[in-house]
Chains A and B, each alone.
Chain A
Amino acid sequence: MGALMTIENVSMTFQMKKNLIGGPAPQVHALSEVNLEIPQGSIVAVVGESGCGKTTLGKAIVGLQKPTGGRILYDGEDLYNMSGDHFAQYRKQVQMVMQDSFAALNPMRSVGQALAVPLQKLGIVKGRKAARDRVIALLESVGLVPGEQFLAKYPHQLSGGQRQRVCLARAISLSPRLIVADEPVSGVDVSSRLSILKLMSSLNKELGIAFVYITHDLSTARYIAGQGKLAVMYLGRLVEFGDLQSVLDRPRHPYLRALLTAVPAPDPDLARNRPPLPLKDLDLPDATRLPSGCSFHPRCPLAAAGRCEQEVPQLHMVGASAVACHFADMADIS
């Protein structure tokens, strides 16, 4: 399958305001030279800590934020250099589902209004009756059955899981090819999280919609993208990328290894007998003053003087996955 989207060397640098004393204005490198390919109909999980750039990456993919460097290709065409028609197509075909389902729905509008009016406005269906029927079908396809019962509901009358389903129904109403879902289950009750993940999974399988699943939670990433890809980010850089299953079976980047160690296992005996975190420093560096060379080196147990703090490691294939670490091969042995 061909690439639906290609992220080429994308960087995003934010200029902060100058401080009063007039020193140089600090810059935040939210993304640095990220390369990523989203195959058609696939699921790509993007995992990292807060501040790693995963949300910025999502915003760049849906076209909310123009990269300060590099290109984003949709169907092989540069997003910021395509014809108006093609861009309008892209607008419809790439949708987003956000973390806070309450903020993502207009509190003053009922579910029916929120879904039906855009359909009519964008000329997808003609007439109120047809719009209503389509909305009911959409609601039922995301598991809100019977659909009629939800038309007159306002967002505050729904549970977090139901609201997120409405957001998914709205996203699929335009028949998209890609949905970027940024932490879609972290605001949902624990008992309903799984059903939202299953729903996305079935939308992927049945409608062929590709998903970019952005999360800090490796367990849910593994659940939804079991057959897909995993991209691990650290301080604005992609540090490991490959088929999720093979990446998790043999994690190569020392950061991913630390992350995997830190995920609590839902078993008291395993959780209490795990090795200590393979990290030299607990705290993330200041985003405006990134470490030189490999930005992970101050925390990395494998960091070697003379190389890691000087040379930025590039993504290169190690085994089945791409890793950005000078000692990726060694990490395999240790």
Chain B
Amino acid sequence: MSVVVRFFTTIYYNKKALIGFILVVFFVLMALIGPLFFHFSTAIDYSARLDPPSFAHPLGTDFAGRDTLTEIVIGSQQVLSVAFWAALISLSAGVVIGILAGFIGGVVDEILMIIINLVLTIPSFSLNLILAAIFSVTSPVAFGLLLSVTAWAPLALGVRAQILSLRERDYITVARLMGLGKGYILTRELLPNIVSYLTINFIQSASGAVQASVGIMLLGLVPYSVTNWGQMLNIAINQNGGLSNPSGVYYMLSPILALTLFTFGCFLFANGIDDFFNPRLRTS
């Protein structure tokens, strides 16, 4: 059975993962091809300010009478690319450091563990805020890097723990007895066992990065962009009284809904990953 067929079979049988997959794909498509269909214009129409949802504006309008749905779609590109880079950078760093610590062990492990534990004690959101205030974050890569400054540490700790538990397994002992080298043991015996762990963590890191990035945007610490979900929330709450003004509520709820759906989708999708990678859970 090809990998693709197996993937869809697994997803089909795991309904939670299916819903998650659809949500994630929905947001990814929104970011990739959404801008082809939605065009954001800066034109201001104060007569249509903070309108409730209608046929013309399914999610209502913003403080300047612009379509909220268009803003969400355009904004998804930035939010998702930041999430992607953040997840990729923090996971790569986490994997490399976790494997070095767990597989080499000894002094290397001890030094890396001190560093990991040090990073874990830093309040990450505060550090992110300070760094965002010092450096001007302009590109998604830079934003992702910023979010990864501390996010790699728990991943490294997790990967190390996985490696430590796996390296004591009998099949690793047998591989050693057969005279198979460290490279073989790492790539052929250990890594296949943590692929599902890594994939789940990639999705969860991405979803965590979305939360964190929106938090930083909400506080206005990244360059202003009116379509940015966090910026939208910022405006909705601070300038339009989203919490007290009944007509501002749709403008405030739209980015919240988008965020919630994406995070929820990531959570559900991650749920099905192990079914796909673990031969024991595969549906035959």
Direct contact of A and B (CB under 8 A): yes
Chain A interface residues toward B at CB < 8 A: 62-64, 88, 91-92, 94-96, 98, 100, 103-110, 114, 117-118, 121-122, 154, 156, 167, 170, 174
Is B189 on the interface with A (CB-CB < 8 A)? Answer: yes
Known A98-B170, A100-B170, A104-B170; judge A118-B193 contact (CB<8 A).
Answer: no
Complex: A96 Cα to B171 Cα, angstroms: 11
Known A95-B178, A122-B180; judge A105-B171 contact (CB<8 A).
Answer: yes
A122 near B177 (CB under 8 angstroms)?
no
Chain B positions 168-190 with a Cβ under 8 Å from a chain A Cβ = 169-171, 173-180, 184, 188-189
Chain B interface residues toward A at CB < 8 A: 169-171, 173-180, 184, 188-189, 192-193, 277-280
- Which residues of the partner chain B approach A105 to less than 8 Å between Cβ atoms? 171
- Which residues of the partner chain A approach B189 to less than 8 Å between Cβ atoms? 106, 109
Residue from B169, B178, B280 in contact with A118 in the complex, judged by beta carbons closer than 8 Å = B178
Residue from A95, A117, A154, A167 in contact with B280 in the complex, judged by beta carbons closer than 8 Å = A154
B174 near A98 (CB under 8 angstroms)?
yes
Complex: A91 Cα to B173 Cα, angstroms: 12
B180 near A95 (CB under 8 angstroms)?
no
- Which residues of the partner chain B approach A88 to less than 8 Å between Cβ atoms? 179
A170 near B174 (CB under 8 angstroms)?
yes
- Which residues of the partner chain B approach A117 to less than 8 Å between Cβ atoms? 184, 188
Looking at the assembled complex, report how far the CB atom of A260 sits from the nearest CB atom of chain B, in whole angstroms.
Answer: 31
Residue from A94, A100, A106, A156 in contact with B192 in the complex, judged by beta carbons closer than 8 Å = A106
B178 near A91 (CB under 8 angstroms)?
yes
A121 near B184 (CB under 8 angstroms)?
yes
Looking at the assembled complex, report how far the CB atom of B17 sits from the nearest CB atom of chain A, in whole angstroms.
Answer: 19
Q: Which one of B170, B173, B176, B277 has the greatest number of beta carbons of chain A within 10 Å?
A: B170
Complex: A109 Cα to B178 Cα, angstroms: 17
A103 near B177 (CB under 8 angstroms)?
no
Complex: A122 Cα to B277 Cα, angstroms: 27
Nearest opposing residue in chain A for B175, CB measure: A118
A92 near B171 (CB under 8 angstroms)?
no
Complex: A187 Cα to B169 Cα, angstroms: 17
Complex: A94 Cα to B174 Cα, angstroms: 11
- Which residues of the partner chain B approach A96 to less than 8 Å between Cβ atoms? 173-174, 177
Complex: A95 Cα to B178 Cα, angstroms: 7
Q: Which one of B169, B170, B174, B278 has the greatest number of beta carbons of chain A within 10 Å?
A: B174
Known A103-B170, A107-B193; judge A64-B177 contact (CB<8 A).
Answer: yes
Nearest opposing residue in chain A for B194, CB measure: A108
Task: Return 23 A-B CB contacts under 8 Å, by A number.
Answer: A64-B176, A64-B177, A91-B177, A91-B179, A92-B178, A98-B174, A103-B171, A104-B170, A105-B171, A106-B192, A108-B193, A108-B279, A109-B189, A110-B279, A118-B175, A118-B178, A118-B180, A121-B180, A121-B184, A122-B180, A156-B279, A156-B280, A170-B174
- Which residues of the partner chain A approach B179 to less than 8 Å between Cβ atoms? 88, 91-92, 122
- Which residues of the partner chain A approach B176 to less than 8 Å between Cβ atoms? 64
- Which residues of the partner chain B approach A94 to less than 8 Å between Cβ atoms? 177
Complex: A170 Cα to B175 Cα, angstroms: 10
Looking at the assembled complex, report how far the CB atom of A257 sits from the nearest CB atom of chain B, in whole angstroms.
Answer: 35
Looking at the assembled complex, report how far the CB atom of A171 sits from the nearest CB atom of chain B, in whole angstroms.
Answer: 8
Q: Which one of B169, B171, B193 has the greatest number of beta carbons of chain A within 10 Å?
A: B171
Nearest opposing residue in chain A for B181, CB measure: A121
B178 near A122 (CB under 8 angstroms)?
yes
Q: Which one of A95, A108, A156 has the greatest number of beta carbons of chain B within 10 Å?
A: A108
- Which residues of the partner chain A approach B280 to less than 8 Å between Cβ atoms? 107, 154, 156
Complex: A92 Cα to B277 Cα, angstroms: 32
Q: Which 7 A-B pairs have the closest CB atoms?
A: A91-B179, A108-B192, A154-B279, A104-B170, A103-B170, A106-B171, A156-B280
Complex: A106 Cα to B185 Cα, angstroms: 11
Nearest opposing residue in chain A for B190, CB measure: A106
A95 near B177 (CB under 8 angstroms)?
yes
Complex: A121 Cα to B187 Cα, angstroms: 12
Complex: A107 Cα to B277 Cα, angstroms: 11
